[in-house]
Amino acid sequence: MINTRITELLNIKYPIIQGGMAWIATHELAAAVSEAGGLGIIAAGNASGEYVREEIRKLRDKTDKPFGVNIMLMSSYAEDIVDIICDERIPVVTTGAGNPGKYIERFKKLGIKVIPVVPTVSLAQRLEKLGVDAVIVEGTEAGGHIGELTTMALVPQVCDAVKIPVIAAGGIADSRGLVAALALGADGVQVGTRFVCSKEAKVHVNYKDQIIKAKDRDAIVTGRSTGHPVRVLKNKFTRQYLEVEKTQGPEALEGMGTGRLKLAVVDGDVDNGSVMCGQIAGLITEIKSCKDIIDDMFKEAEVVLHRLSSLKGGEDNE
């Protein structure tokens, strides 16, 4: 068993939370992760409040384990989602793509745990002062909307700068990533791309197949010039997008990305859609159940730790 401040804080068996991936993190995926002993997350993405409320109700029909809702702060519905989370007394909120500062007090008053994604040390420190319960420190290896720093460099710096628990994210898909994150000082991990390739994720088979086929350099970054870089698999759409980005500049890109994630996830158009995923896609070779993904990660962590302990040289080992 790996018990940390995160298993305790969230009342879960394993210190693993599922990424709040728009269109992908539906109640089916979240329920499967929560049932397997992690923290499942329903992603609000750009969806309306009523859609999210329905997802919450469907999840509650499937499990009575703890779960969370992710607010994508750039969404025009973010305020509505906050209202619904408060109304439904969701146990845990994660946030992404912005600073959730103005909502924290309201959540805290209702006993809702708040865990924002942060891409820098300074945002982690500011949010700790405002009373968040933990932070998800996400490296640039992650899929979707990303920051600049790597997981390897950022996680230990945030661990040294704050007292609250840290959850590492970006580039973690197996037991080695889990143990590495713990070695960097994290109390848990957030995993996204690995759960996209789960049996329970309601994601078009073409999307899952593209991740399984992906190699190490296939997950590239688009939109750096817009200030909203997004990591996504190379395809016909990214070639067109990067060409416009290079030759015409950021104004010409406006609207070009709209609807592209849904096109890939729901319709399975992996040529013209955005197949968002992290750099770790190249490591993923098969579809497994969420239970097997989590059980294998934590079972194999014992093997990794044993291997590390056998490396210890010097007098102790002789």
- Least Cβ distance, residue 20 to ligand TUI (angstroms): 7
For residues 306 and 132, what is the distance between their CA atoms, to the nearest angstrom? 35
Residue 296 Cα to chain centre, angstroms: 19
> Residues 217 to 246: which contact ligand TUI by CB under 6 A?
228, 230
In Å, the largest CA–CA distance within the chain is 66
> Strands 230-233 and 144-145: what pairing?
antiparallel
State which residue, 228 or 234, has the beta carbon closest to ligand TUI. Answer: 228
Q: Does 145 bind ligand TUI (CB under 6 A)?
A: yes
Q: Which is nearer to ligand TUI, 95 or 175 (CB)?
A: 95
- Give the residue, chosen from 48, 99, 125, 206, that forms a contact with ligand TUI under the rule CB under 6 A: 99
Number of residues binding to ligand TUI, judged by CB under 6 A: 20
Other Cβ atoms less than 10 A from the Cβ of 124: the count is 23
CA neighbor of 124 nearest in space, from 164, 183, 151, 92? 164
Give the SS3 label for residue 276: strand
**Interface with ligand TUI includes 98 (CB under 6 A)?**
yes
Q: Give the burial string for 244-270 (b: 16+ CB within 10 Å, else e).
A: ebeeeeeeebeeebeebbbbbbeebbb
Establish if 138 lies at the interface with ligand TUI (CB under 6 A).
yes
Q: Report phi then psi at 236, rounded to 5.
A: -60, -45
* Residue in 157, 271, 186, 159 with CA at minimum distance from that of residue 169: 186
Report if residue 72 touches ligand TUI, rule: CB under 6 A: yes
* 22 is a contact residue toward ligand TUI (CB under 6 A): yes
- Closer by beta carbon to ligand TUI, 37 or else 119: 119
Closest to ligand TUI by CB, 185 or 257: 257
Q: Is 199 or 262 the residue whose CB approaches ligand TUI more closely?
A: 262
For ligand TUI, the binding residues in 157-186 under the rule CB under 6 A are none
- 75 neighbors 44 (Cβ within 8 angstroms): yes
Give the nearest distance from C-beta 89 to ligand TUI in angstroms: 24
The verdict on 97 binding ligand TUI (CB under 6 A) reads yes
For CA atoms 27, 29, 35, 38, the dihedral sign is: negative
Tell me if 146 contacts ligand TUI by CB under 6 A. yes
Q: Which residues bind ligand TUI (CB under 6 A)?
A: 22, 72, 74, 96-99, 117-119, 123, 138, 144-147, 228, 230, 257, 276
